[in-house]
Chain A
Amino acid sequence: MTEPLLRVRDLKTYFVTEQGSGTARAVDGVSFEVQPGETLGIVGESGCGKTVTSLSILRLIPEPPGHIRPGSVIEFEGRNLLTLEPRELRAIRGNQIAMIFQEPMTSLNPVFTVGDQIAEAAIVHQGLSRRVARTRAIDMLRLVGIADPEERVDHYPHQMSGGMRQRVMIGMALVCHPKLLIADEPTTALDVTIQAQILELLDRLQAELGMAVMLITHDLGVVAGSADRVAVMYAGQVVEQAPTAALFARPLHPYTEGLLASVPRLDAPPAREHGRLHSIPGQVPAATAWPDGCRFHPRCPYAWERCRAEMPPLLDAGGEGEPGTHTVRCWLLTEPRRRTPHP
């Protein structure tokens, strides 16, 4: 196996809440790797720690109240980002690792032209003059598929539509040709048709620029179309990790199963529940009080005593590829006979 571009090991990001209700363990022992050039999808519902994970990688967690626990490791090309000086860290942000945010409406500075904002990263990291940076900004606008880039470069964010702003955000992120792009719900705020265009654009740029992408989303459809591998997160942990095809063909964690079952499908109407869409019962527990044992057990149809008492480790699920390709945090792997729902 080649040296991974990004290696996250046992990442724990906690928030101390002021009201004294305890510590919110938003990310609690997450490990994954991103290989050069691949797309890793990170999936999970709101509050499972996806965004905190991505912010932790760039160390953008507001401190206080948040902090990354000692013992966590985030290695980018072999360097631990958690021990870097602020200067070295700034040299990586935007240059080697870039990020695009969920809300294109609020992630652009309203008082500067989009050209200025795209040029900024190039000026900061590559010391380009304003003129060269402007030309570069025009090139980026063209690259992300904006018509009339020469004119658009002088427009302000409020003069653009949501889809165009997200294109501008992507242009901003890619201006220094980063090796890793973290895309935090890049399409959530957009119309479905625009979503498809943006994802297509990301795919194309990834192929052209040869970068790796961490695609964070709650939308399994997005992951199915773009990701090489998927990590499913629940309650601050990775509960299942597998190549995309394997995950969709053979979901092993009951949570993944539930997620897949709740996707509306045109080809196979859900007959089971009298034509209603499937949903996972219950809600994600509060990050200040994760349940004991397996964190999914209160919502799991298969849970038994062991699940309530003991947290399962990530177990190897076998299947194709080398060991460790498909891992699942579930005791069912040790006792597959129990995979029958309780009445």
Chain B
Amino acid sequence: MSVWTWLTLGGAAVLALAVVAELRRRLQTSAPGRRFFRHPTAALGLFVLAFFVTIALAAPVVAPYPPYYQIDIGHPNRPPSAQFLLGTDPFSRDVWSRLVYGARVSLGIGTLAMLVAATVGTAVGAVSGYFRRWVDATLMRLVDVGLAMPRIFVLLMAVALWEHIALWALVLLIGLTGWFGTSRLVRAEVLSLREREFVAAARALGAGAGRVIFRHVLPNAAAPIIVSGALGIGNMMLLEAGLSFLGLGVPSPAPSWGNMIADGWHKMAVAWWSSTFPGLAISLVVMALNAVGDALRDALDPRREAA
């Protein structure tokens, strides 16, 4: 069993390295690609992300035990060893296996919630910036209200009222409270793009509002949306972890990095491993996302070429 564990772990790392190397090779031919990899930690961040995505996708292969399996109820909290890579938790479950399955939940929720937020934020921002006038005024006052509300309390209230929350509902909730900043960003971008001559040219060709927005304005605003999305996933993951830690996010037997910390933290003194490793995983991934987001910003902003 443990040889297989080491093999798969090594395999995931090698695969992640290969992905980074291949991406680097392919992107080297374009200026934005070179700018991306010029960022000091971009390759490292990309490697961390590729690694976690790989183990999440290949979870059944990588994890030595099923995530709910209680190996030996009589002897929980075993320290990391050759058999249990990261030890076992107070319920005698293998921490490494849960970490692997938890990657699915945590990365998945973060990514999906960000997609929801980016979609709504982009749509609202584009409509607001393109049509201006009362549409803009109404939507932006709404955004003001959204930005003024402390997000974690809104989420806590909603989740507390809901009791047993389904995963998709959690994703929607996190996403729908996270689009305000994106909409501001997109609106500002659209406001300036709509005055550009090629937009007038498109309208002179007979393009309608929808066509102008989707074909001519938004593609030119893609860079800031992508960057804010990459940076936003980390935020969403932290939020999910926070909620799950408080017992209000992903319900307990299912592993998420947040509720893994919660499961282990009251035994920190005797079994530090069951909280520490999921905590490390969260930190690593969020830092990696920030590095990649930062590098993307460098890559997609041609004005940085000179620097």
Are B206 and A124 in contact, CB atoms less than 8 angstroms apart? yes
Q: CA separation between A187 and B202, bound complex, in Å?
A: 20
Are B201 and A90 in contact, CB atoms less than 8 angstroms apart? no
Q: CA separation between A215 and B203, bound complex, in Å?
A: 20
Interface residues on B, range: 10 to 19
Would you call A27 an interface residue if the criterion is a C-beta within 8 Å of the partner chain's C-beta atoms?
no
Q: CA separation between A107 and B256, bound complex, in Å?
A: 50
Are A103 and B197 in contact, CB atoms less than 8 angstroms apart? yes
Are A124 and B205 in contact, CB atoms less than 8 angstroms apart? yes
Closest partner residue, chain B, to A103 (CB atom): B197
* Minimum CB–CB distance for A96 against chain B, Å: 9
**A121 contacts which of B196, B206, B208 (Cβ < 8 Å)?**
B206
Q: CA separation between A86 and B200, bound complex, in Å?
A: 15
0/1 per residue, B15-53, Cβ < 8 Å to A?
Answer: 000000000000000000000000000000000000000
**B205 contacts which of A102, A111, A112, A121 (Cβ < 8 Å)?**
A121
Closest partner residue, chain A, to B211 (CB atom): A124
The A235-250 residues at the B interface (CB cut-off 8 A) are: none
Closest partner residue, chain B, to A124 (CB atom): B206
**A108 contacts which of B198, B204, B211 (Cβ < 8 Å)?**
B198
Given A112-B219, A124-B211, CB of A107 within 8 Å of CB of B203: no
0/1 per residue, B167-200, Cβ < 8 Å to A?
Answer: 0000000000000000000000000000011101
0/1 per residue, A84-125, Cβ < 8 Å to B?
Answer: 001000111111001101110011111110000000110011
Q: Which residues of A contact B204 (CB under 8 A)?
A: 58, 60, 93-94, 98-99, 101
Would you call B207 an interface residue if the criterion is a C-beta within 8 Å of the partner chain's C-beta atoms?
yes
A interface residues, Cβ below 8 angstroms from B: 55, 58, 60, 86, 90-95, 98-99, 101-103, 106-112, 120-121, 124-125, 169, 172-173
Q: A60-B204, A111-B220, A121-B206 given. 20 additional CB < 8 A pairs?
A: A60-B200, A60-B203, A86-B208, A91-B206, A92-B206, A94-B206, A95-B206, A99-B204, A101-B197, A101-B201, A106-B197, A107-B200, A107-B201, A108-B201, A109-B220, A120-B207, A121-B205, A169-B201, A172-B205, A173-B205
Q: 10 closest pairs, A vs B, by CB?
A: A94-B205, A94-B206, A93-B206, A99-B204, A106-B197, A107-B197, A109-B198, A121-B205, A107-B201, A90-B206
